[in-house]
Amino acid sequence: MNQDPLWYKDAVFYELNVRAFCDSDGDGHGDFRGMIQKLDYLLYLGVNCVWLLPFYPSPLRDDGYDVADYYNISPKFGTLDDFREMLDVYHAAGIKVISDLIVNHTSDQHSWFIESRSSLDNPKRHWYVWSENDQRYLQTRIIFIDTEASNWAYDPHTGQYYWHRFYSEQPDLNFDNSEVQEEILNVMRFWLDMGLDGFRVDAIPYLFEREGTNNENLAETHQFLKRMRRVVDDEYPGRILLAEANQWPRDLLPYLEPDEFQMAFHFPIMPRLFMALRKGNRQDVVDIMNDTPPISPENQWCMFLRNHDELTLEMVTEEQRQWMWKEYAPDDRMRLNLGIRRRLAPLLDNDIRKINLLNALLFSLPGSPIVYYGDEIGMGDNIWLADRNGVRTPMQWDESKNAGFSGADITYEPVINDNGYGYQKVNVAAQIDKPDSLLNMTRNLIKVRSAHPVFGRGGFTMLEPENTAILAYERELSEAAKMVVEGAARVLVVANMSGEEQKVTMGIDAVQGTDLLTGQTHHLNGPLILNPYEYLWLKLG
């Protein structure tokens, strides 16, 4: 097991939906025993840390992000003992496990809320945010705009309104109440005591409310988040907190202080990778990287292309959003809230060159990459399923019944079974023996990245050669880092974002570089020729 306290800087993460991964008992839902069975696959892929989507008891209004009990797991996924065994088995194999921690809100079925709404003087009343009217905090945006008209919901029993940033079935906890704060810290301890390696902390900008603000990123929220971090540092050193805050890089900086989160998702770069690829021009990526301030050495960005939510278009301009919808969501049904409910392969026209290219960027930009389960085999989506479920369908293992996911007659959602992406064609078994399959190309990127800590720890310099179809940057280890880590010290990444052959003169001091992915040597004292969507990871010096 990696004992380095900075392990997360070198790690490749895998976002795993237990429910979707492998069903060991044939009830149509994946479970922890199924996850244990699939350990070998994750070892083959080469990922180092699994991020588990919520597995707590829940009425599933928001697919588990509506927690009904923080101290248990949903019986559909198994027992606490199964969970512990999974942790032991994964740890023994060298894979760390973090899970979603949802603290902003609970389910309205949580006993705390049931008590809270039962009377005005119930001891749990002030565990949630209640109001006489729905006219407070009007400067707060609505996140689930397709379903919710207000952040307030009326409770007829007590004649007051309660505050919710997501579905009305997800009342927000009242962090002004110290009992709530203490309880949430105890929830953390419960899972960390069991051996979990950290949390992806959900929806953290919204913990506190203050009149006259937009109720995001408030100072009070940061104070509490620092308390969370103190628990980790004092009681569980080496475990990590990853911030889910869909914000601009400059607004994320306070979260990435050394006394707050070790990691934060870099949301705004994600749509810009898709923009640059569609335009065959690097500029959108250059702009956002120029806008990304430096962070301290113990902090790290988390990079991703897709996840379990819609491809969010919150961190783009209105004009860019309309453009993204036009280009990537031509059918209205593909749009959801401020985003696009599609998976990676369908977004990229199932073109393996484009998928490999974006993966090559994902794995080489500054930060730690996250692979969304199924994207490594190019799984499709089902836009006709409700909410975001169309990108949460069962993992496709082989061509047998239910893609080898489950022996049940009915699974929690149907397996993808269409012409382009049906499980008979797109599955792990069909790809594992083919060196050029998406699975093995992804695996190779992970392998090479993992052998060269420069990708996780090195500095980043954007290069701007004359040809704007070429996205190019250098990653370089500091002198100090060179002493402690192995692998290449300086890597030049060159990517042809366009569908045409491109010629580019790099104009850097190196005369040649060896591609870490293919072993081929490329000369840099003359122009480089890149095939459509080709990428190089050139070791310099």
SS3 155: strand
Strands 240-243 and 198-202: parallel
Binding residue for ligand GLC, selected from 62, 172, 197, 310, defined by CB under 6 A: 62
- Asked if 163 interacts with ligand GLC (CB under 6 A), we say no
**C-alpha distances in Å from residue 81, one per residue of 77, 176, 282:** 11, 35, 49
Binding residue for ligand GLC, selected from 32, 65, 112, 255, defined by CB under 6 A: 65
Q: Which is nearer to ligand GLC, 15 or 284 (CB)?
A: 15
Number of other residues whose CB lies within 10 A of the CB of residue 540: 19
- Which run of H or E residues covers position 368? strand 368-372
Exactly one of 66, 202, 260, 474 is catalytic; name it: 202
> Would you mind telling me the total number of residues written for the chain in this entry?
541
234-240: list long-range contacts, CB under 8 Å, 24+ apart.
Answer: 235/189, 235/192, 236/192, 237/5, 238/3, 238/5, 238/7, 238/197, 239/192, 239/196, 239/197, 239/198, 240/8, 240/98, 240/197, 240/198, 240/199
SS3 447: helix
Q: Which is nearer to ligand GLC, 74 or 468 (CB)?
A: 74
Number of other residues whose CB lies within 10 A of the CB of residue 107: 27
**CA-CA distance, 537 to 362, in Å (whole number)?**
12
Between 215 and 254, how does the x/- string for binding to ligand GLC read (CB under 6 A)? -----------------------------x----------
**CA-CA distance, 17 to 343, in Å (whole number)?**
15
Q: Which is nearer to ligand GLC, 7 or 55 (CB)?
A: 55
Q: Which is nearer to ligand GLC, 63 or 474 (CB)?
A: 63
**CA-CA distance, 115 to 121, in Å (whole number)?**
10
Q: Which is nearer to ligand GLC, 105 or 354 (CB)?
A: 105
- Which run of H or E residues covers position 130? strand 130-131
- Asked if 102 interacts with ligand GLC (CB under 6 A), we say yes
Question: Considering the complex, what minimum distance in angstroms separates the CB of residue 427 from ligand GLC?
Answer: 26
Restricting to residues 412-451, which ones interact with ligand GLC according to CB under 6 A? none
Q: Which is nearer to ligand GLC, 102 or 377 (CB)?
A: 102
User: What residue is closest to ligand GLC based on CB?
Assistant: 65
Indicate if the alpha-carbon torsion angle 20, 22, 24, 25 is positive or negative. Answer: positive
Is 202 among the residues known to form the active site?
yes
**CA-CA distance, 163 to 129, in Å (whole number)?**
5
Question: Considering the complex, what minimum distance in angstroms separates the CB of residue 295 from ligand GLC?
Answer: 22
Binding residue for ligand GLC, selected from 166, 255, 328, 405, defined by CB under 6 A: 166
Question: Considering the complex, what minimum distance in angstroms separates the CB of residue 146 from ligand GLC?
Answer: 12
Restricting to residues 288-317, which ones interact with ligand GLC according to CB under 6 A? 308-309
SS3 99: strand
Any idea which residue has 């900008």 for tokens?
A: 205
Question: Considering the complex, what minimum distance in angstroms separates the CB of residue 100 from ligand GLC?
Answer: 8
Q: Which is nearer to ligand GLC, 278 or 321 (CB)?
A: 321
Exactly one of 172, 197, 216, 244 is catalytic; name it: 244
Between 27 and 56, how does the x/- string for binding to ligand GLC read (CB under 6 A)? ------------------------------
Question: Considering the complex, what minimum distance in angstroms separates the CB of residue 540 from ligand GLC?
Answer: 38
Restricting to residues 201-220, which ones interact with ligand GLC according to CB under 6 A? 202-203
Q: Which is nearer to ligand GLC, 201 or 493 (CB)?
A: 201
Question: Considering the complex, what minimum distance in angstroms separates the CB of residue 194 from ligand GLC?
Answer: 22
Residues in contact with ligand GLC, counted by CB under 6 A, come to a total of: 9
Question: Considering the complex, what minimum distance in angstroms separates the CB of residue 49 from ligand GLC?
Answer: 18
Any idea which residue has 């870490």 for tokens?
A: 516
Question: Considering the complex, what minimum distance in angstroms separates the CB of residue 166 from ligand GLC?
Answer: 4
3 state SS for 228-294: HHHHHHHHCCCCEEEECCCCCHHHHHHHHCCCCCCEEECCCHHHHHHHHHHHCCCHHHHHHHHCCCC
Token pair for residue 358? 């974006």
- Asked if 98 interacts with ligand GLC (CB under 6 A), we say no
Residues paired with 538 in a beta bridge: 492, 515
The residues binding ligand GLC (CB under 6 A) are: 62, 65, 102, 166, 202-203, 244, 308-309
Active site residues: 202, 244
